[in-house]
Each structure stands twice: as structure tokens, then as C-alpha cells.
Structure 1
Amino acid sequence: MVKLATARESRMYGPGRGRTRAEYINAGLYLFATVVLGSGFGAQFSLEPRSSLVLMLIALALIIVVNVHDLVAHLAGIDFRLPLMELDTQLAFVEFAVPLVQALGSLLFFLGILILFVEEEKGYVYFRFEKHALNMLIAGPVLWVLGSIHNSCQIYERADGHVQILQQSVQLPFLIGSTLFMVGGILNSQEQTGLSRHGMGLLVSFD
């Protein structure tokens, strides 16, 4: 997960002053993607509900890119020497696992939405993939919840009040939001059982 403040000095977003700038750009993109994702769900109430799927796909793509960038920044800080993770629990379970899990969760969510978008555009020709799409809409948020729990376990090297406030302002809302997405996906999947809805109709519980 993208953090609004550096917890450890080893993260390498770039040389010198560029490192801090790149990190905050990273965080800003994550915040922007979150707003776009929320707008996508809200757009389902509009006269052009298909636009909501496009917004969600854009937001999820940004989240994937940002988390991959975050992961690379952590690995660059240790010169990509993965065996060092055996000596540092936080490095393995927070700084490596969190962005990886978040990226995978976002990818699954992206694929689930993409399948529904293709069905909507092509006239529901991939019925056999609908069940997989619904499962992806559950699996993605499950990984988000796991990642947000891992992220809350980090230890601070720069533990001033400003950093603590920034970190907590990200961790708690992200955990709550991820949990709501997971619960919504589960309830939506159960609601669709026995119904003959297709495409965007399968997102009814998210409306």
C-alpha cells in the first residue's frame, strides 16, 4: 500500500531530494485513484452507467502501477537482495508483502470488472466467465484486507507525531474500506445466486 510518509530510510524512490518528491507523487496518485474509484461506483447512478466501469478500470490500473512502484522502491533499497528478508520481519511482511498483495488484489478486481465491461459491450457473450468475475470481486478485496492488516504492523524509524498522524490517516480508512468492499462482494455474490442478471446487473449490490 502507498504510504503518505516514509517509515524507513531504505526506500529508494530516487536520488537525493527527488526521493521525497517521488514518494509524495506516488501517494498523491494513490489518493487520486481512490477518488476516481469512488466516482466510478457513484457513476452507476448516472444515465451512462457504462462510464462507471471505465472509471473503475482506470482507478484500479493506477492502483496497480503505484503499488508496483512502491514494491520496486522497497526492493531497490536493499539492492534487490531478497535473502535479506530472512533477517528483517518488517521487510518481508510489510515492505515487500503489502504492495505485492495490494497489487495482486487490485489486479483481480480489475479483471473482474473488465470481464463485466466486455460482456456489457459485446452483448453478454461470455456467460461462463461471470462466476469467475464475481469471485474476483471478492478475492481482490480479501487481499486488500490482508495487505491493510500487514501494513498496520510496521515499525517506525522516524516516529515523530507528524508521521504517526499521516500513517494512521491512511491505515484505518484503508482497512475499513477494504473490509466494506469484501463484505459487499460476498453479499453481491450471494444475491446473484439463482438470478439471470448479466454484465452490469451483476454489480447491483455495489449500487
Structure 2
Amino acid sequence: MVKLATARECRAYSLGGGGAGSSARNRWEYINAGVYVFGAVLLAGGFLGQLLPWAGSSRPGLAVAALGLLCVLAANLHDLLAHVAGVDYRLGMAGVDYQLALVELAVPAVQSVGTVLTLVAVVFFEIQKERGYRHGLAKHGLNLLIAGPALWCLGSIHNICQVYERASGHVQLLQKSVQIPFLLGSTLFLIGGIINRHHSFKLLGRTWAWFGLIGSLLFLAGGVLNLLKVFKTQQMGGRGLEKLRGGAQERLSMEREGKVPLILEHGGRRGDPAMPPPPPGSYKDALVSSAS
């Protein structure tokens, strides 16, 4: 998950774009964080159901885990759509705003693809539990259990490498406390998928379920901390947050106000009104004429 809370002066965390009201943006951000926490709870419950000795068949656990992945996918897709809405769905702005392209769009997109791959793998195993073993589905499912978490790791590493130079230490601590559990959880899912692919005599071994359970609990911890971060940053009302200058958000705001951009191509300042020429016969005109 990647949020706008510590990155943008003009937050537009809703599907209504920059014109959405502050209360609507705050509500959508809370809903997004809550859906992710609920998905992590379902994911952990699904893996726990596969480990309990009295659970019997693992099919119910896989179904619950699939529902959890759907919630995680919904939260990540909303992250992506909300960030696109923040620039009025003008994807061409990514060419002049690397933060928008490499973090706010790329990270939730990669996380969403990884979630889809993991969800497809779980569906494959659910089909085999019902209809019997099929080598093709088993092979693809085991490979997807590695590919999906690998994309989770890639997005988490990319997201955690972002450092806000001018944000307050409190804000950055909140940000890192959310990012680190997601990175650790993704890594555990990846390790579990690799071990299950090469060292398991069953289609889904208990080792994979244990790694998945611990990884899900880390996702849950990250989701709860993210909910706390959303609350804290909204209470701060923008104080101590990073104010990115010259990005897509600022360009769009200045376009709406009918202003020119801040920084000229040749280093001059934009937005400063042009100085009118001095009237004929003025003192300034005489000084300019004598200097020339």
C-alpha cells in the first residue's frame, strides 16, 4: 500500500479527483485502510484454518484466504485509482513527475498484479481440492505462489526506499512503521512459496501455511499501523508533511488557477508578474537611458 498522506500538499485521496471535499477524501482513506485490515484478518484466518488439526479439509481455509486476497486487491486498486484521480486521470503527467510515476502509480500497480497472481494460485488449488489433482494446474499454481509474492517484495522494496527529506521525524516514523511489516510479510510469503515449490511432498505443505500465517499477521500489523498513520496525519492537518514542488499536483493546481508554472525553463521564476516598461520621461527611464 502506498498513500498520499505524506507526499502531497493537495491530497485527493478519493475517486472524485481534486475537487472532492476534504471529508469525502478522509472517509475514503479510512475505508481503504479498513478494507485492507479486514482482508489481512481473513488471510490470516484462512492460513490458520489449514493448520488447525480439527479443521479437516483445507478447502474452507483456501476460500477464506481467497476472500482476504480480494479485499487486499480492492485496497491496492483503490490506491492506484485514487492517485490517478489526484491528477485528474491525466497519465501523461507521469512523464514530468517521477514521484507520481515510480511510486504512486508503479507501486500499487505492481502490488495489485502480485495479488492477482497469488489469488489465481489459490483458485487453482481450490479447483484441485474439488476435482482432483491435475499436473498442469499444480505446476502453474506453485509457480504463481512464487511470482505473486515476488512482485509484493518488489513493490515493498521500491516503496520503502522513498525518503522524505523535509517531512517531520514523527511522520517518517509512521511511514516506516507501515512499510517494514509489509516488506517482511512479503518476504515470508516468497520464502514459503519457494520452499513449498521445491521441498514439499504435498501440493500445499504445512510449512507454506506457517509462512503464510506469519506473513499475514505482519500484513495485519502493517494495516493497523497504517490506520493509525491515516488518523494521525489527518489530525495533523498537513503540518509536518512533505510539500513536493513542481510535481503533477502543483502543475494542475496552477493550471486551474490560470497561473504559469513556478520555475522557468532557463532558471527564472514563474508566476512573478512581468515588470511593465517605465513610462516615457520617468526617472527610471532616464537612469536606463544613461546606463545604456
**What is the TM-score with the length of structure 1 in the denominator?**
0.88
Which of 15, 23, 30 is 2:29 aligned to?
A: 23
Q: Aligned partners of 2:2, 2:45: CA distance in 1, in Å?
A: 20
Which of 159, 183, 186 is 2:194 aligned to?
A: 186
Tell me if 1:174 matches 2:175: no
Q: Aligned partners of 1:151, 1:104: CA distance in 2, in Å?
A: 16
By how many angstroms is 1:104 displaced?
Answer: 0.3
* Per-residue deviation, residues 112-153 of structure 1 (Å, max 9, x unmatched): 0100011101222x3211111001000000000011112123
Q: Aligned partners of 2:166, 2:44: CA distance in 1, in Å?
A: 32
Which of 136, 150, 155 is 1:142 aligned to?
A: 150
Could you say which structure has the higher helix fraction? 1
Which of 194, 204, 208 is 1:202 aligned to?
A: 204
> Match for 2:32: what amino acid?
N
> Match for 2:7: what amino acid?
A
Match of 2:32, SS state, is helix
By how many angstroms is 1:110 displaced?
Answer: 0.2
By how many angstroms is 1:158 displaced?
Answer: 8.3
Kindly name which structure, 1 or 2, has the bigger radius of gyration based on alpha carbons.
2
Q: Aligned partners of 2:31, 2:165: CA distance in 1, in Å?
A: 21
Count of residues in correspondence between the two structures: 200
Tell me if 1:129 matches 2:137: yes
Q: Residue 38 of structure 1 corresponds to which residue in structure 2?
A: 44
Match of 2:204, SS state, is helix
Counting aligned pairs with the same residue, the percent is 50
**What is the TM-score with the length of structure 2 in the denominator?**
0.64
User: Which blocks of at least 5 consecutive residues in structure 1 are unaligned?
Assistant: none
Please say if residues 122 and 141 of structure 2, whose CA atoms lie closer than 8 Å, have aligned partners that are also in contact: yes
User: Which blocks of at least 5 consecutive residues in structure 2 are unaligned?
Assistant: 210-292
> Match for 1:53: what amino acid?
L
